[in-house]
Amino acid sequence: MPNVKVTLDGIQYEVDNKKTIIEAARENGVSIPHFCYHEKLSVSGNCRMCLVEVEKMPKLAIACMTQVADGMVVHTRNERVINAREAVMEFILINHPLDCPICDEAGECKLQDYSYKYSTGFSRFVEDKVHKPKRVEIGPRVMLDTERCIMCSRCIRFCDEIAGVHQLEFTQRGDRTELTTFPGEKLDNPYSMNVVDICPVGALTNKDFRFKSRVWEMSFTESVCTGCARGCNIEIGVRNNEILRLNPRKNDDVNSVWMCDHGRMDTWKNVNADTRIKSPKIRKDGVLVEVGWDEAIAKVASELKSFNRSEIAVLGSAMASNEDNYIFAKFAKEVLGTRNIDFARHHVGADDNVLIRADKTPNASGAEEVGVAPHDGGMSFEQIISAIKAGKIKALYSLEDDLATIPGVAEALDQLEFFAVHATNHCKTTEHADVILAASTYAEKNGTWTNFQHRVQRIRPAVTTLEQDRALDNFKMSRWDKFAAHNDKWGKGPRRDSRPSWKIVASVAGALGAKFKYNNADDVFNEICQKVESFKGLSYLKVGMKGAVLKKQTVVA
């Protein structure tokens, strides 16, 4: 790849000759303001905010469309360039409403940021501003405020180039230009909410998040989406210990900078929902009653001990982490001695050509990899269900999965003599359970998932549980530091007495006489990396923010 030498603001850099000025500048830490340019979309060059001076060129050039050349000398912040940017900002702001106090984009708005940096601070325009439609529902999930639109065309290009459907368009001319939906269309493609992320102003907003919080009042945690086997990298926005929104996080090896609407809207509502299981429950006289952890664990241990190993089956989960599934498989083999271990697969529809996968679980690959599979003649998932119906399997212990939604499984669960389940929320499966063990959601625990490409990725706690609060209270720090830790990051929102599944299983193993000594998820993952061949050489540090591909695996495109 041939390189050329380019001078940016007096410093010479060697860059790829196919790069534009704005790309070369970004790679070398030089910031050039822009509105319409987006690294994952085609170049439109219509905002003119990225004007720079290139020596020997008669006029200022737009950095997003001007390709570098050997010996090029570029000035990105001299007086001529600053004056041009101030002029561009003045034109953009002429008809822009003063909505910052009520705009959801405040705090993460490019126009707001550039107004502070490049605007002159006053307007020479004294006529009435042009008024356009506000609060327009252009789709089921996105609201449009046309007055705020600066006509950057990012959203139009996204629909055309990424989502593959032409649903947005400009109409009218001059300062009457409006963004609207194409005739007969609504903004309802499966990736429609990405236009909210890439809108540089507050023109396009998330209907679900509108007016819920200012961004500076929220904490943000890097995690992974649970919507399908893609494992899109996300950022979880939390206020008062409640999730308010998910946004995609850049990872070119997984999801680029996008995510689907299903992952954004449907994968986290259970964390805040009223259906959350807030503490363990035992069925007494046909009614589920809240109990303490010691009683629930003792109940599971005593019941499992009363059956022969051939009468017991365990079901892991593609919704649980690698750590959860590994400990569960170890418990099944070393403590219960059962060979009947598997998990349910959930395939719905088909893969699309952007991100969505037919496998609607985040960790099917990981569950298989860490040992959740029948061995030495053990039964598969389908065989386990058949054996329950035939009366051969009498006790079932299951991880975080709503098994009763699978045709024919609910009838089988009714025939069990004992059924224990780890669950985060009340569901069809918990209606059949004798013991419900309150499991932490993906947003409340540390761990890893393995996506369909066999890439291991980290999940981290974004909201806290009662157990984490107790650990914090026991930690040696001043009461003021504890107050700050409790309230600054997580606020005063609801806590659940839930635990990560690996810790619950380790407690049940302890009640059965086994010694599973793990202090945290790191200990479990370290053991996985020692015992599971494909994980060898990994650690949480090596997995990092972008994930790591397992050894001896063929990466699926």
* The predicted structure's pLDDT at residue 467: 73
Could you tell me the residue range of the domain that residue 208 belongs to? 97-110+124-272
Q: Is residue 458 part of a domain?
A: no
Which CATH number fits the domain that encloses residue 66?
3.10.20.740
Structure token digits, residue 348: 């719905």
Which of 219, 244, 272 is the last residue in one of the domains? 272
Among candidate residues 164, 160, 131, the one with its CA nearest the CA of residue 145: 131
Residues 410, 388, single domain; the answer is yes
Residues 231, 211, single domain; the answer is yes
How many domains would you assign to the chain? 3
Its sign, for the CA torsion 79, 83, 86, 92, is negative
Residues 237, 294, single domain; the answer is no
Q: Is residue 383 part of a domain?
A: yes
Among candidate residues 360, 422, 423, the one with its CA nearest the CA of residue 226: 360
Among candidate residues 26, 5, 494, 521, the one with its CA nearest the CA of residue 274: 494
Residues 389, 326, single domain; the answer is yes
Give the C-alpha separation, 92 to 490, whole Å.
38
Residues 284 and 436 sit within 8 Å (Cβ to Cβ): no
Q: Is residue 452 part of a domain?
A: no
Return averaged pLDDT per consecutive 10 residues of the chain, 557 residues in all.
Answer: 89 94 95 95 94 95 95 95 94 91 93 88 84 94 96 96 96 92 93 97 95 94 96 95 95 96 94 92 92 95 93 96 97 94 93 95 96 89 95 95 94 95 95 95 95 96 80 53 49 77 96 92 96 94 94 52
* The predicted structure's pLDDT at residue 120: 79
* The predicted structure's pLDDT at residue 356: 96
Structure token digits, residue 289: 């009653």
Give the C-alpha separation, 516 to 523, whole Å.
11
Give the C-alpha separation, 267 to 281, whole Å.
24
Bridge pairing between strands 395-398 and 418-423: parallel
For 18-63, the pLDDT digits (tens) are 999 999 999 999 999 999 999 999 999 999 999 999 999 999 999 9
Q: Is residue 380 part of a domain?
A: yes
Residues 528, 392, single domain; the answer is yes
* The predicted structure's pLDDT at residue 469: 66
Residues 101, 161, single domain; the answer is yes
Q: Is residue 62 part of a domain?
A: yes
* The predicted structure's pLDDT at residue 528: 96
Q: Is residue 470 part of a domain?
A: no
* The predicted structure's pLDDT at residue 473: 55
Residues 138, 224, single domain; the answer is yes
Q: Is residue 448 part of a domain?
A: no
Residues 79, 151, single domain; the answer is no
Residues 79, 187, single domain; the answer is no
Residues 232 and 250 sit within 8 Å (Cβ to Cβ): no
Residues 399, 513, single domain; the answer is yes
In the three-class reduction of DSSP (H, G, I as helix; E, B as strand; rest coil), residue 276 is classed as strand
Predicted model pTM: 0.91
* The predicted structure's pLDDT at residue 555: 42
Which CATH number fits the domain that encloses residue 179?
3.30.70.20
Which of 272, 296, 330 is the last residue in one of the domains? 272
Structure token digits, residue 33: 């303001």
The conformational region for residue 409 under phi > 0 = left, psi -120 to 50 = alpha, else beta, is alpha
Residues 226 and 321 sit within 8 Å (Cβ to Cβ): no
Q: Is residue 457 part of a domain?
A: no
Residues 128, 88, single domain; the answer is no
Element (H, E) at 271: helix 269-272
In the three-class reduction of DSSP (H, G, I as helix; E, B as strand; rest coil), residue 365 is classed as helix
Residues 242, 287, single domain; the answer is no
Its sign, for the CA torsion 520, 325, 356, 140, is negative
* The predicted structure's pLDDT at residue 503: 96
* The predicted structure's pLDDT at residue 480: 45
Which CATH number fits the domain that encloses residue 402?
3.40.50.740
